Structure formats: structure tokens, C-alpha cells
Structure 1
Amino acid sequence: MTILQALEGYYHRLAERGAVASPGWSSEKFGWVIEIDADGGLIDVIDLHDTRGKKPKTVLYQVPAAVKRTVGIVPNFLWDKTAYVLGRTAGNDKRTAEEHARFVAFHQQRLAGQTDEGLTALLRFLERWRPEHFDGTRFRPEMLDANVMFRLAGERRFIHQRPAARALVEKGEADVGAATAFCLITGEQAPIARLHPSIKGVEGAQTAGAALVSFNLDAFTSLGKEQGANAPTSAVAAFRYGAALNHLLTRDGPNRVRRPIGDATVVFWADARNAEGSHADAAEAAEGWFAGVNDPPTDAEEEAKIGRDMDAIAQGRALADLRPDILPGTRFYVLGLSPNAARLSVRFWLTGEFSEFAENLAAHYRDLHIEPRPFNWGGAPSVFRLLVRTTALLQEAKNIPPQLAGEVMRAVLTGGRYPQSLLAAVMIRLRAGDDPLSGWHVAVIRAVLTRDHRKDRKKEDVPVSLAPDEPNKAYQLGRLFAVLEAAQRMALGKVNATIRDRYFGAASATPATVFPLLLRGVQNHLARLRKDGRGGWVEREITDILDKLPPDLPRSLPLLEQGRFVVGYYHQRKEQFKGRPDVAAAIQDDDEGSDQ
């Protein structure tokens, strides 16, 4: 099923519960309504903002459908921004006077012959209005360039909600000679949409909306067709998919991942249908579960419950056993959209049975499993949180590599291999100074290596916790580095720069160059430790690890082996002081603060 077909199908579910506008209508943000009397005289300007939060917010209202504007001047019906309605704008736009004149002329034509009190009052207001009237006391500067609509004094409904106005909207303008074609979404012969709807809410895209489907250059067209004729979609189907997608993209909406994954704004929805028909409750249950995984709740108990679900599914339990309210066979859709000038790019589009998504998510968290758990790990960290902690400079969301984010999300949801660029990005951050003892980087490294092993059994598995007898030499070199660092810290106490600060990146990449230097240097530390009887176990650990390594250390380690080096280092550092609390306290082990 294509993206547009799935969205058009989702529209029908939303329409059943009145969550989206009907054809000819759209949901737009408003903060102001102009109240007029029957003669078109100004009575008041009323603030509609939602003031319950810290900042006043505009409110969504269903109004006659917004027109698609490119470079032309096209007014909306019965509402618009102040430049069109009142002839005033915050800037110095030379087109403002023309926009206002076009708005007035358009309504004089559409409302000619109307006898409804509200519509005639609006027409009289427009004929009497002059832009300089805005400087009166009832209007405020913050209204400029905002959407405004009208209401007749003494009524609660707006003018566009009056029966006569609704009849005009539903009748629409005569579309003489409209081209018809086979609709690629519905499969029906119908008038096609010349321009597709604007999509709003994608992070980084134009606030006025961007196009998911558009043809604005000859290079994009074929056989001399213009604009929408190149991908024939009926006007009704285009409206439906646009309304559904704009609903999904509502900020803080339940079907939108709260934080973008890289530059991709991610939305999702379910379709629970069987022989008995559509089951909206089951679909909403699937959507709620997926939302909890990708935006873990702040409630610790709920987060722990999600973690338990993941563990159970990873161990082979069926999703139906854990969540009987999610029907077997429920279809699920995940769409990632990225900004691209005035258009949108599809970063990823994933479909399948919901149980498959759940199993793939559980496999992802199973692959991330590392002992001891990373600092502040929680129940099941989101993909966004993982990427921020392990790939972003200064742990800022804007620094997540956008292409990498999309590839990682695709790998998580499909169960495919993680991109090798993820491992490279994590290693770059570790060399740049990120602390491996936080555990987040190590968990991601182990996930990449473990999934490679699962997909190709010729590759080595990676231990979950400390494995002293692990045959992999890179893992043992990481352990050795941790012991040498411990010897330095035990002998010298707190120092400005440990060997990890100076040599961690080089030791993991070119061990034959770095380790001879470190082994010579540790002799001085061991001599100091022997004097107070603390060095015995350190010497035994070094000897034991060296016995597992070949006499000639590798001159270089490839990227995958560098990852194993980091895992070995983390395991050794976290486990080597178990049973030695006096030693750990004496050197003021900083593991617990490493995530700060």
C-alpha cells in the first residue's frame, strides 16, 4: 500500500469520530475574531488564545478550506490573515493593498444575492472598512499577519458556521471543464487535484506548509502534463490524505514522535480491521503502545512496564498474550518526513503487521543489553535519546547526523542490520572525549556487533558482561587498558589527565604502537603499589590478560574490533573493583558520575 492510500484510509477512521474536517473544510489556527453588528459595524475584537499554559496559544478551528498559495494572490473564504482581510501587515509588503482588494472583490462576488444576516453583515463590513481603521483602539499590533474570522454580535457561532455559509462552502465554486482521470488512490474516475494540499507541522519545513506531491519544473513532468496531472489524484482523495497527515503532524499529538529523529519528523498509525470491520479501539491501543516505546513516559512505573514488555517479547512471548487489546493482524505504518525547501522528503516509510514491529523493537533492546546497565538507562530508551547520547556533539539534538538517524530508525523497526556509520559515529564521539563509562556508547556498539553476529554466524558474538576468557584479542586489549588505567589511578590518585585521556583512541586503533609504552610506564606504578601491598591483584590481572594475547600485538584494529576494545574496557572498568570496596573508595572511582 502506498503512503497516500494508507493516509486516505486513515482519514475515514478519523472522520468517523469527527477528528478531521469534511471536504471543503480545514483546521486552521486562530487567535482573534472580529465581532460585527448586522450593519457591518465593528463591535469588538475578541482574543481566542488558549491562556491555560505559560504562553498564550492559538486554537484550531474548522473553517472553509485554505487555498493553496504559490506566488499568486488568492483569498480564503470568510477568513484569512490580516493582510487580506484588513489590508494591514507587520511588514512593508507592497502587495498588501492588492491582497485586500482581491479579498473584498472575491466576497462581493461569492456573497452576491445572499440574504443571510451574517453574510450580509460581513459584506457591509468589508465595503465600509479602510486599512487605517486598524489604528483604532480595539485592534492590537500582535494581530498583524495572524488569521482572523468573524462573528455576528450576540451569537456564539462564527459567521462561517451559519447554515447559509456552510451551504456555500459545500456547494463550492463551479469548476467548469474540470479534467477527470483515473485516481491513483481510489481507482475511480474523478476530477483531479491540480495542486496537492499543503502539509504543516514538519520540523524545519516552512510554517505555511510544504508539498508532499508537487510538480513545479518542466524536468519533473512528462508528456506535456501540468502539475497534478502527472500523478492523477482526485481532489477528494487529495483532501483526505492531506487532512489525515496534517492531523498526524499536530504538535504534541498522540501519533507523532515527540522529538525528531535527526531531521525526520516521525508519525505513525494503525489499521485494525478484520472480517467484522474496523476496530478503532484496537488501533488506538497499538498506537499507544508504540508511542510509549518511542517516547518513554516520565512515570517510572509505566517506563518499567514497557521494559518488561520488551524483555518478554524478546524471550519469545507473543504480543497478544501481553496486550490482548491489540488485535492480531493489526497493520501498522510509520512515516518519517524531512524538510526540503518548499517540499517534503520521505526519509523512511515502513509498513507491516504490528506484531512484527513489536518483535523488532524488542530485538533492538535485546541487542543493546549490556551489564552493568548504562547510567540513567531507564526502562527502554528511545531511538532519539540513544542518538543524542552517543552520536551528537555536546549531546544536542540538532547535531544528530540526519542521514544516520533515518537509517538507524529503519534498522530498529525492520530488524535489519544497523548501519556501519552508526559504529563509526559512536567511535568518533569517544575519541572526541565522550565518556565510555556512561555505558550508552558501549550499549550501541554491542548492539551493532551482536546484530552482525546474528545475521552472519561467521562473525563473533559479543559478551554481555565481563568475560575473562573471551578469545577476541581486541576485547582483551580493552581489558588490559582498563587495568593499566586502574594501576595509574591507584598509584597517583587524582591526576589531571589519565592514560584514557591521552591514549584511549590511539590504543584502540593502533595497539602495537601504544601498549609497549603503557606497559613500560605501569612498572613505576606497580613499584609504588608494592610498597603498600596494594599491587598484587593488579599484577596478576595484567599477567593473566597478557597470557591471552599473542606476543606480537596487532599493528592496527579495524572499526569492528575497535568496538570490541571499548566493550572490553567498559566491562573491566565496571567489574574489576567488585569485592574490593576499599580500593574503589581509595581511588574515588568516578564511574557513577561519568554520565554528567
Structure 2
Amino acid sequence: MTMLASLAQAYERRAARGEAPPFGFSQEKISWLISLQADGTPAGAPVDLREGEGRKRSPRSLPVPQPAKRTSGVAPNFLWDKTAYVLGVTAGDGKRTAREHAAFIDSHREWLAGEKDEGLSAFLGFLDWWRPARFTELGWPEDMKDQNVVFALESERLANIRIHDRPAAQAIWAGLSGGGDKNTALCLVSGRRGPVARLHPAIKGVWGAQSSGASIVSFNLDAFTSYGNEQGDNAPVSEAAAAAYTGMLNQFLDRDSGHRLQIGDASTVFWADGDDEAANEAAAEIFAFFFDVDDEVEAKRVGDALKRVREGLSVPDWSAALAPGVRFYVVGLAPNAARISVRFYIEDDFGVLAKSVAEHQERLHIEPPPRNTLSLWRMLLETATLRKRENIPPNLAGDWMRAILSGAPYPLTLLNAVLMRIRADHNINATRVAMLKSILIRNFDVGAPVALDPTCKDPGYVLGRLFAVYQQIQYAALGDVNASVTDKYYGAAAAHPRKVFTTLASLSQNHLSRLGKQQRGRMVNLERDIAGIMEMMEPSSDPFPANLSDKSQALFALGYYHQRNKYFAKSDKAAEADAEGDDA
């Protein structure tokens, strides 16, 4: 099933349950309601519909007639809009506010001409009575400016019936948004014949895209046309299907929908397609936790689920809410000027995707483990300068997510990004090393060890261990110093061992000589570590090659991490022994 078809199908299921607005309507963020008397005068101060408290108040999502598609022109919405259109007031300069307000009034007088409905008559009466100066005269709140506004009769306000909900208003809107004389064709999404949408509704909520919305499907230049067709006629999608897929996508992209994750620059949307809606929501919830876990209780829950998947249990065995064969969809969206690019689209059985995630988590396993759960966004921050989200390399998030879910090799840009950050800041932490280990296993089929492996003879791994011993020797002899061996030599040692290791060997002899005068036993142990590691080097190979490949540099970091933490573990045990002695 195509991405648009699966979105449209999900929308139809929600609409059938009354959880999505009907065709021609969409969920929009509404902040204020103006209640009207029958003659059109306000029944009192505007009603604040926002949720939350203080400065954190947020607009409420309400079904309203589909908004007009605006670029640079003036186009009013039907029976609702922002205050510049509805009231002629704005918090900004308002260079074209008067034109927008006039267009709103003129359009509604034309659309509602001759209507006898009580609510529509009251609305027209309000437009005749209103003057922008009344906003200040009535003392209406300043934070109402530039927010979306709807209307209701005072007699119906408490019943949550807005003027655009009235049957007469919906009948007019059906005529305004219906097919009319529009071209009809076989819809590429639904397979049914219907009026073709020349312009698709805007998609909002994609991080980095235009705040007014952008499009996945659009044709705005002659070069994009075929056989003389204009705009949407080039790829016929019915108005109903266009409204359905964009409406569903906008719902999923809502921050609190539970169906989106922001992973790097990719706004990732996901949903399930099963007969049981509770199972669908459970699948989406578990998927979100797989990739964005920041709570220890939830981390344990997801960890248990992944363990059960690795053990070969089917999805229903570890989550009774999920039915067998639940299809799952994942879409990665990224901004591209006025359009939205689809970074990836994956469709598969939820159990298959869960198993792919479990295998990914298994490849990340390392000892000692990171202190925090390895959610995808946390790992991506390790590739960014200053660990800022905006500095994550472009396309990396989407490419990695697609590889995890599809079982494909990881992007090599991930390997390059991690190695580059290690060379830049000399921070060889558990998260970065876990990422390198997973790349070695997935892309190079290397049996990278989980914990310190004294039998591993890979040159990169052995040299990394040796470098960690040299660092430990310096620390044992001198304690904390301003610039350690790692600070000075790690980047060169990992990339060009021949240039550095002879210098490191000479420095270590000086440090050992100094250490021998203070702690001879410790000196002997460190010398044994060097000798043991040197024995692991292949006699037929160059012990210090001129250059190491990226793969070998990843193994270098892994060996360094394992060997270094061997000494940390010894220090922890010694501290515990001292504490027990003090207690005695």
C-alpha cells in the first residue's frame, strides 16, 4: 500500500468512529471564541479556549472548515480565521490587515447572501456591526491578537455548537468545497472517480518547514507539467483523498499526538493499521518508546519487550494488546523549501519491525554500559558539535532510522561523524563506542567484543588497548594533568599509529621509572599489561602501521574503551574495600 493510501485509510477509520472531521473539515488550532446574540452583537468578552496555565497555554485543536491555501495572496477562511482577517487587528505592523479584513467581510457577504439561518444571520450582523476600533474600546485581551477565532450563538455555546457546525453552514461549505465543474478523474490514491484536487491542503508541523504549511504533492512550474495538465491534474488525486491523507498527517504531526518523533531533522510519523484500535495505539506507543526513552520505568518496560522479541516470542506474547499481523507504517519527513521531502517510508508487520529494533539494540550492547538509555536522539547528539540538535549532520537521522527498521547497513556517514567528534573532543564515552560497535557488526561483519577481550588480535583493537595502558601509566605516575596523553595524541594515534607510538613508548618508560620509586608493584603490573598486549600483535604484520582505516579506528576506540574501564573497575573495587575497612 502506498504512503498516501495508508494515510487516507487511517483517516477514514477515524472519521467512521467520529474521531476525525468529515470531508472538507480539518483539525486546526483555535484559541478564542466570540459568542454572539441573535442580532450579531457580542454576548460578552471573548471566551479563551486555550488549555494549560500561564504562559504555557496552548490552542485547542478543533474541527473547522478546511483552511484556504495561502502563499502570498489574501484568502479568507470560512466562518473562522486569525484576528487580522476576522477583526482587522494584529500585533504586528499590519500592512495589509485592512485588505485581509475587507476580503473576509466581502467573501462572507457573498457566500452567505440570502441565508435565513439564525446563526449565519447573527454572524453577518456581527460583520456589519464590527469596527476594528471596537477591539480597544471593549477592552478585549491583547494576547488574542493573531490567534484563530471561531463563533457561536450564546444559546448554543455551552453545548459546544459553533456556527460552522450548524447544518446550514455545513451545506454551504459543501457547495463551496465540492466538485462543481471541476475536472473528474480516477483517483490514484483511492481508486475511485471524483473531482481532482488541483491544490492539496497544506501539511503543518514538519520541523523546519514553513509555518503556514507545505506540500508533499504539488506542481507549480511548467517544467513539472505533462500533456498540458495543470497543477494537481498531473497526478490526479481526488479532493476527498487529498483531504483525508493531509488531515491524517496533520493529526499525526501534532506534538501531543503520540504518533511522531523528532529525530534529527526528520519528523518521523508512525501508525498501525489493524482492526483493533486499542492494538493500533499500543503499537504506536511501544514504537515511540523504542526510539525515545528517557524514563527508567519505561526504559525497563521496553527493555523487557525487546528481550522477549530477541528470544523469538511473537508480538502477542509480550504485549497482549497487540493482535497478530498488525501492519505498521513509518514515514520520515524533512523540509525542502515550500515542499516536504519524504526521507523514508517503511511498511511491514509490527512484529518484524520490532525484531529489527531488538537486533539493533543487541548490537549496541557494551560493557560497561552507558548511564542513560540509548535512545536514537541521544545517540545522534553524540555526532553533533557541542551536542546541539541543530548541528546533527543533515540526512543522518533519516538514513539511520531507515537502516534500523529495514535491516540495511547503517550509513557510513554515521561512522565518519562519530570518529570526527572523537578526534575533535577526545571524549571516548560509552554511547559513542556502542555506536561504533554496532556499525562494525552491521556493516563490516566484525565480531566486535562486548567487554574486554584479551584474545582479540585485530590490530586496531590491540593498539587501542595499548594506548589506554600508556594513558594509565601517565596517570599513575603524575595524577591528573592539564593535557593528558589522550588530549595530545589520541587523534594521531588512532589514525597514524607509526608517527605516535614510538613517542608514547618513550614517555611511558619515563613515567614507569618515576612510578617505580613510589609504587613498584603497580609499575610491574602495568609493564605486564604492555607485554601481554604486545604478544597479541601478529609477528608477520607491522605492529605500528602507517595508517588505520575508519573500520580499524572504530576498533581502536573499542579496545581503548575496554582497557581503560578495566582500570576504572579496579579503582572502584579498591575504593569499596577501603570503605569496608573503615566501617570495620
Distance 2:575 2:439 in 1: 31
Query: Which amino acid letter does the alignment assign opposite residue 8 of structure 2?
Result: E
1:315-373 deviation digits (Å, cap 9, x = unpaired):
43333322243222211100111111221111111111111111110110111111111
The alpha-carbon deviation at position 287 of structure 1 amounts to 1.4
Q: Is 1:569 aligned to residue 544 of structure 2?
A: no
Instruction: Report matched runs for 1:218-233 at 5 Å.
Output: 218-233=222-237
CA displacement 1:437-457 (0-9 Å, x = unmatched): x31111000000011244xxx
Structure 1 stretches lacking a partner, 5+ long: 273-277, 455-459, 587-596
Whether 1:522 and 2:508 are equivalent positions in the alignment is yes
Cα 1:5–1:140 shift into 2, 3 Å:
same
User: What is the deviation of 1:239?
Assistant: 0.7
CA contact (8 A) 2:204 2:253 kept: yes
Are 1:357 and 2:370 counterparts?
no
Q: 2: distance between equivalents of 1:173 and 1:501?
A: 66
Secondary structure at 1:210's aligned position in 2? coil
Alignment correspondent of 2:290: 293
Structure 1 residues 290, 402: CA separation in 2 closer, same or farther (over 3 Å shift)? same
Give the structure 1 partner of residue 582 of structure 2. none
Say whether residues 1:424 and 2:421 are aligned partners: no
* Counterpart AA for 2:562: H
Counterpart Cα distance in 1 of 2:437 and 2:33: 57
Choose the corresponding residue for 1:326, options 305, 311, 322.
Answer: 322
Superimposed CA distance per residue, residues 487-508 of structure 1 (whole angstroms, 9 cap, x where no aligned partner): 1100111111110010001001
In structure 2, relative to structure 1, the CA distance for the partners of 1:491 and 1:584 (3 Å cut) is: farther
Counterpart residue number, 1:208: 212
Q: For 1:184-333, what aligned pairs fall within 5 Å after superposition? A: 184-257=188-261, 260-272=262-274, 278-296=275-293, 298=295, 300-333=296-329
Q: Which SS does the other structure have where 2:43 is aligned?
A: strand
Q: For residues 543 and 266 of structure 2, what CA distance do their matches in structure 1 show?
A: 47
Q: For structure 1, which segment, 511-520 or 395-404, has the greater mean C-alpha deviation from structure 2 after superposition?
A: 395-404
Q: Residue 2 of structure 1 corresponds to which residue in structure 2? A: 2
Unpaired segments ≥5 residues, structure 2: 578-584
Match of 1:548 in 2: 536
RMSD across aligned positions (CA): 2.0
Aligned partner of residue 402 in structure 1, secondary structure: coil
Give the match's secondary structure for 1:211: coil
Distance, in Å, in 1 between the alignment partners of 2:153 and 2:63 is 17
Q: Distance in 2 between matches of 1:189 and 1:218?
A: 26
Specify the SS of the correspondent of 2:447: coil
Q: Which residue of 2 aligns with 1:397?
A: 389
Query: Aligned in 2, Cα 1:147/1:328: closer, same or farther, shift over 3 Å?
Result: same
Partner residue, 2:147: 146
2: CA distance, partners of 1:51 / 1:582: 50
- Name the residue aligned to 1:589: none
How far the C-alpha of 1:579 sits from its partner, in A, is 4.8
d(CA) in 1 for partners of 2:36, 2:333: 42
SS state at 1:266 partner: strand
1:174–1:321 distance in 2 versus 1, CA, 3 Å: closer
Alpha-carbon distance in structure 1 between the residues aligned to 2:433 and 2:467: 16
Runs of 4+ in 1 over 4 A off after TM superposition: 577-586
Residue 577 of structure 1: CA displacement? Answer: 5.2
Q: CA deviation at 1:295?
A: 2.2
Cross-structure match for 1:367: 363
Provide the C-alpha distance between the structure 2 equivalents of 1:371 and 1:315, rounded to a whole number of angstroms.
21
Residues 262 and 581 of structure 1, relative CA distance in 2, 3 Å threshold = closer
Q: 1:297 to 1:430 in 2, by over 3 A?
A: closer
Residue type at the aligned position of 1:333: Y
Which residue identity does 1:335 align to in structure 2? V
Measured against aligned partners, the alpha-carbon deviations of 1:80-99 in whole angstroms (never above 9, x if no partner) come to 11222122233334432222
Corresponding position of 1:275: none
Q: What is the deviation of 1:305?
A: 2.2
Deviations 1:18-60 (A, max 9, x none): 2211012121112112222222223322222223465121111
Separation (CA, whole Å) in 1 of partners of 2:449 and 2:291? 27
**Contact kept? 2:292, 2:376, Cα under 8 Å:** no
The amino acid that maps onto 1:413 is L
**Residue 159 (structure 1) aligns with:** 163
Counterpart of 1:591 in structure 2 is: none
- With the length of structure 2 as denominator, give the TM-score of the two structures: 0.93
What are the within-5 Å matches in structure 2 for residues 60-75 of structure 1?
60-75=61-76
Residues 481 and 434 of structure 1, relative CA distance in 2, 3 Å threshold: closer
Which amino acid is 2:250 matched to?
Answer: N
Q: In structure 1, how many angstroms separate the alpha carbons of the residues matched to 2:432 and 2:384?
A: 11
2:580 corresponds in structure 1 to none
Q: TM-score, normalised by structure 1?
A: 0.91
User: Relative to 1, partners in 2 of residues 1:189 and 1:382: Cα closer, same or farther, differing over 3 Å?
Assistant: same
* CA spacing shift, 1:209–1:174, aligned 2, 3 Å: closer
Moved more, 342-351 or 129-138: 129-138
SS in 2 for 1:377: coil
| 1:193-248 Cα shifts (integer Å, max 9, x gaps) | 11101011111112221111111111221111111101100011111111111110
Letter matched to residue 249 of structure 1:
L
**Which residue of 378, 382, 389 corresponds with 1:385?**
378
Match of 2:465 in 1: 479
> Partner of 2:10: helix, strand, or coil?
helix
1:410 alignment counterpart:
402
